[in-house]
Every structure is written in C-alpha cells, then in structure tokens.
Amino acid sequence: MKQFFLFIVKGLTVLLLTMILLDVFYTVVYRKTDNRNKISFLFNTKNQQYDVVFLGSSRVNNHFVPKIFNDQGYKTFNYGITRSRLEESALMLKLMIERNYKIKNLILQVDLNINTNDHSEAIRSLFMPYIHQSETIRQHYAAIPEYNKLLFIPFYRYMHYDSRVGFREMYASLVHKETNALYNDGFNALLKNQRPMIAADLSKYYPKRNKAYEEIKVICKKNKINLIAITTPMCMSTINRDYFNHINSVYPEIHRFENAVTEDKYFSTCGHMNKDGAIEFTKVVFNAFFKPKSKP
C-alpha cells in the first residue's frame, strides 16, 4: 500500500507540474500575441492616443467605420466585439486606462444591451490569459464565483474556457495566424444580406438600469472622457420598436439613432447593417457630434 501511495503522490506531482508548465506556456504565447482579437491587441499595446473610441457589441463592430472619422482628422478605433455586453465594454475601458490610453471621446452603444445585466462568457474568456498580469482584470472579476479557481489553480482558466482560449486558439496564436479582427481599424463589414429578412423580436425586451453602464459613466467622468451613449439602427420590421422609446425613461442622456438608417437595402440582418449601411450610419453619427478637422 505504501508503494501505491508513493505512486499516487508521484502521479499527482506529475499532474501539478503538467498544469503549471501548460499554464506558463499558454500564458507566454498569449502575451506575445496581439493580432488575434481586440483584447489581445489592447493588452499588448500602451500609450495609444485616440480622438474617438467605439465600444459595444457586434452592433458597434459591424456598424462604425473608423476610416470616416480618420479621414476627417480624428484618430479613431473600433473596439466593438461581437457578443460582448456592457460588462466587457466596461472592462475594456478600464484596461485602456490601465494601459495608459488617452481618449477624448468614447462612443458607446447602449441599446439592446441594457435589457440585461448579464455578462458574455465567450468574451470574458478572452481576458483570462492576462488575469495574472493585470490588476484591473483581477479586480473586475474578484467577485465572480470561480475567481479563486481561475486565479490560483494552474491552467484551470484555459480548461474552463477551452472553446475560446484552449489549445486551438493557443496554437493559432503560436503560429501567428492572423484574424481580420483588427483590419480596417477594427471595423468588420457584413457583406452578405439575409433575404427575406427575418424580423427581430424585441417583445420580451425592456430596458433596465445597468451597473456596467453606470461604471463606464463614472470612469469617463474621472478620466475626462466625453461619453456619447447612442442607440444603433435596427430594421423597420423589428417587433416592438417601442423598446427604444423606453430607453430614455431609464437613461435620458442616451442619443437615439435607431432610425438613422431605415431602408432594408442597408441591412445584412435585421439587427446588423451591411457595409453600405455602416458607412451611412457612421456619417450620420459623425455629423451629429463632430466637425471635420481636416479635409479628406
């Protein structure tokens, strides 16, 4: 039996060592990668200076064309991430401050995402490789139930979020396989059009007070960032467009742009505009809040 216990102790040691080695290896790989997604890019850059930064979900990622702003003399980047919620947007902003970014204006999408205070598990996972390196990330997630496991058990975070930061993503990072996430200053155009278009149904949606949004407001105030919270367009056949009318009853400061683009030809799906729609919409937003600094 003694022999068996020694065997088990040996096995557990091998297991622990394997976990530590894998953890170190994965973390080093992710730390050296800045071309896979906007979070890795953000984590691996410092001291960026922006006139305008966009934050939000796919309704930012696919809707704002930084080139239109850049051409008018505003240094702009689209940090919108498909599937992210306001909780992740708040962390993105906090990370930008931690990485010493200087931001003058933040355009934040606040529309469908104030239907919930929930987070996005898929996007949360992308922050996990940096949890040991960033105090901001640690503080942001300190209250979540798995925090201690994620922080203290070697390799646990890569197992827990294996579909996003597991072997497959690590390997792609290791061989420097680029994605298109950072092309066009972060704007990802949708080129296919769903026809017939299926109407989005917002009948179960109602705006609520959102902790992350309120946190973003505080951060912006503290760091003298001009926060422009806006809604973004949805197709006219959306069920319960009245949802947008209720937004201002919760947050009156939110600028309404859901009707800025209305024609179906500008929509890829009911909730997402195509490239032409994004260009039209970005022009509308630019003209509403900015003036050209230089002529194109």
Contact positions toward other proteins, by CB under 8 A?
1, 3-4, 7-8, 10-11, 14-15, 18-19, 22, 155, 158-163, 166-168
**Phi, psi torsion values for 193, nearest 5 degrees:** -115, 125
In the bound complex, what is the minimum distance in angstroms from residue 22's beta carbon to other proteins? 6
Structure tokens at 207: 């705006």
CB of 26 to other proteins, least distance (A): 8
- Rounded CA-CA distance 31/33 in Å is 6
* Least separation in angstroms between CB 296 and other proteins: 36
Lookup result for tokens 């319960």: 240
Minimum Å distance from CB 14 to other proteins? 5
Q: Which is nearer to other proteins, 159 or 198 (CB)?
A: 159
Nearer to other proteins, 158 or 205 (CB): 158
Rank residues 181 and 236 by Cβ distance to other proteins and give the closer one.
Answer: 181
- For residue 236, the minimal CB distance to other proteins (Å) is 28
Shortest Å, Cβ 18 to other proteins? 5
Nearer to other proteins, 155 or 281 (CB): 155
Distances (CA, A) of 148 to 31, 89, 97, 239: 21, 23, 25, 43
Residues facing 272 on adjacent strands: 269
Cβ proximity to other proteins: between 192 and 224 the closer is: 192
Q: How far is the CB of 11 from other proteins (least distance, A)?
A: 7
Q: How far is the CB of 114 from other proteins (least distance, A)?
A: 27
Nearer to other proteins, 82 or 115 (CB): 82
Nearer to other proteins by C-beta: 152 or 291? 152
Nearer to other proteins, 152 or 265 (CB): 152
